[in-house]
Amino acid sequence: MDLKRMGHLVALADTRHFGRAAERCHLSQPAFSRSVLAAEEALGLQLFNRGTPEITCTDAGAFVVERARKLLFESRCLERDVTMYRERQIGDIAFGVGPYPAATLLLSLLCELRTSYPGINTRVEVNNTQYLTEHLRNESLDFFVADMRNLTPEVDLLVTPLGNLQAAFYVGAGHPMCGTPVPLASLLPYGLASVHVPEPLLVALGQVAGLPQGAHLPLVLTCDDMQVLKGVAMATHTVIACPVAGVTREVDSGALVQLTLTDLPPVFAQMGVVSLRGRSFSAMAEFAVGFLGTLARQQAPAL
């Protein structure tokens, strides 16, 4: 069975509808149906349950489609690698970053890419881990960088640790909590804001703040745009959680002030590079990941 026909099986498994699958594969529905039927006849197996509005895989179909996905993925990787080898191209790059690396690592990386490789095209997606994982899986991203605590371990994902980014709580100049060590609970009346935080960490912080067992630390504002969070803190009495390396300019200018908490140890975001297992990087992606690793080590707190 050829790869094109395998692609037809995967399309039908994904869309669960002959018409939508045919449209995805740029075929007429009769031609698409004949292709699927030919695959079943060649394998001697019924791969799909028909007769209902939604087409589903039989057990045999699920078995075949899973392996077809792997073969199609390997085929795309081979084609991509051969092209890069033949043309010796450094390759354009598309990658994603979560909010913390966007605030601390992204600007330096983009400046380096524009300075050292002005001829390449770069596309960056700044978003949450769920969005970035979806776009990594559909192969529109080469890799992404995010807090590893927000990741659900999956067999198709390869996670390479970059290091820890220290985070802290900040307020605008003149805030009532400035200038003296305070417990975490004393910040709650002013409202806490942050990027999306893993639920277990919010629960642990809730315990530090003296909340009932199992209650999570309340956030009055959740936003994955660090610039917005900083702006809110500077304009209101809202307390924000930020990476230390991401607010250097605002702290140096006096616009933001780091709070000292009496009951909270240092907090870190655990940065990692996420890629598809089995897919090789282009030379450009390898350079970017290496540069990010250097930046992360430079910004890591001294032990």
Q: CA angle at residue 113 from 90 to 165, to 5 degrees?
A: 120
Least Cα distance to 257 among 268, 247, 265, 245 occurs for 247
The domain at 3-87 falls in which architecture?
A: Orthogonal Bundle (1.10)
* DSSP summary character for residue 247: S
pTM value > 0.75: no
Query: Over the Cα atoms of the chain, what is R_g?
Result: 24
pLDDT tens by residue, the chain, 303 residues? 688 999 999 999 999 999 999 999 999 999 999 999 999 999 999 999 988 889 999 999 999 999 898 888 888 877 776 766 555 455 688 999 998 888 888 999 999 999 988 878 899 999 989 999 999 999 899 999 998 888 888 889 999 998 888 899 999 999 999 988 999 999 999 999 998 888 888 999 999 999 999 999 999 999 988 999 999 999 999 999 988 988 999 999 999 999 999 998 888 888 999 999 988 788 888 889 999 988 888 876 554
pLDDT at residue 117 in the model:
84
Task: For domain 93-164+271-299, give the CATH number.
Answer: 3.40.190.10
CB-count exposure of residue 30 (10 Å: 0-12, 13-18, 19+):
exposed
- Residue 303: predicted pLDDT: 46
Sequence-ordered alpha helix ranges (H) in 96-176: 99-104, 106-116, 129-137
What region does 241 belong to: left with phi over 0, alpha with psi -120 to 50, or beta? beta
**Where does 166-269 sit in CATH, by number?**
3.40.190.10
Indicate the domain borders of the chain.
Answer: 3-87, 93-164+271-299, 166-269
Do 3-87 and 93-164+271-299 come out as alike in CATH topology? no
For Cα atoms 68, 72, 78, give the angle at the middle one, nearest 5 degrees: 145
d(CA 169, CA 240): 6
